[in-house]
């Protein structure tokens, strides 16, 4: 009987039809890919981004291709702005806490200002969104939360003190939320990418390694055993699975998507 049920229900896998999703940092990089993939699978996408123009560009593409999308300009580190946006969004089935910033530096040469900024965006920003989304999900009988962690939470990366601190906090918050709200029907997981080829990487190389962009890009790519960086859409597809009904038995987990970085590097 089980075999027959599986065969009869084998279509439309990973569908997000009739789901309302909120994606922070949804106007560029990984967030953009998630916005497009979610819209393709039927979700109504709420893009939250500090850059209104980038968010609008993504929403326009979604709408032009028959999808549904709204753009909200918001600094996730500002609780009032986040609260106002989430009140406007209303019902939430899926929350993707993707917005974040990077920082290069060791403990002794990271300024207080830079440390605070990384914390405000990468840690408090996620807290602000959780603070607003969870009560809505509880009222609606459940939901799915996906936090953007990093291999930096699990491995000692050179010159990434503040960034690693923030991603360690993301990992801990994920476990806490999964534990606290499991009886409310809320699942919470995170993923830990290694390097992903986004516009941020290209801008970083142009700013810090002018004239050596290709050389440094190849060097960074080879730190992953697979020999390349991930594509944003590869990360988006993992997120899609974890937020779909097919992953309904998964909560409180972190999923590396790292080209073998954590397990295969010696």
As annotated, the active-site residues are 163
Three-state secondary structure of 36-88: HHHHHCCCEEEEEECCHHHHHHHHHHHHHCCCEEEEEECCCCCHHHHHHHHHH
Strand pairing class (20-24; 44-49): parallel
Tokens of 98: 């993707």
**Within 10 Å of residue 154's Cβ, how many Cβ atoms?**
18
Distance, in Å, from the CA atom of 107 to the CA atom of 62, rounded to the nearest integer, reads 42
CB 7 within 8 A of CB 30: no
Whether the CB-CB separation of 221 and 259 falls below 8 Å is answered with: no
């Amino acid at each position: 009987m089980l075999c027959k049920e599986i065969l009869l229900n084998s279509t439309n896998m990973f569908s997000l039809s009739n789901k309302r999703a909120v994606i922070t940092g949804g106007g560029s990089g990984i967030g953009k890919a998630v916005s497009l993939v979610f819209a393709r699978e039927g979700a109504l996408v709420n893009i939250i981004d500090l850059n209104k123009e980038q968010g609008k560009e993504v929403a326009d593409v979604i709408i032009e291709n028959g999808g549904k999308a709204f753009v909200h300009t918001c600094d996730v580190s500002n609780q009032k702005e986040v609260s106002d946006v989430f009140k406007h969004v209303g019902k939430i089935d899926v929350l993707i806490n993707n917005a974040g910033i990077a920082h290069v530096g060791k403990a002794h040469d990271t300024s207080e200002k830079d440390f605070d900024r990384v914390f405000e965006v990468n840690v408090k920003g996620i807290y602000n969104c959780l603070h607003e989304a969870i009560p809505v999900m509880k009222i609606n009988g459940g939901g799915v939360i996906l936090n953007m962690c990093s291999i930096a939470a699990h491995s000692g990366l050179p010159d990434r003190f503040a960034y690693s601190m923030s991603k360690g906090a993301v990992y801990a918050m994920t476990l806490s939320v999964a534990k606290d709200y499991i009886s409310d029907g809320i699942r919470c997981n995170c993923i830990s990418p290694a390097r992903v080829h986004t516009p941020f990487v290209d801008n970083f190389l142009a700013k810090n390694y002018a004239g050596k962009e290709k050389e440094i890009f190849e060097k960074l790519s080879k730190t992953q055993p697979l020999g390349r960086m991930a594509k944003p859409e590869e990360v988006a597809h993992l997120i899609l699975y974890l937020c779909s009904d097919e992953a309904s038995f998964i909560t409180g987990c972190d999923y590396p998507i790292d080209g073998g970085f954590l397990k295969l590097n010696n």
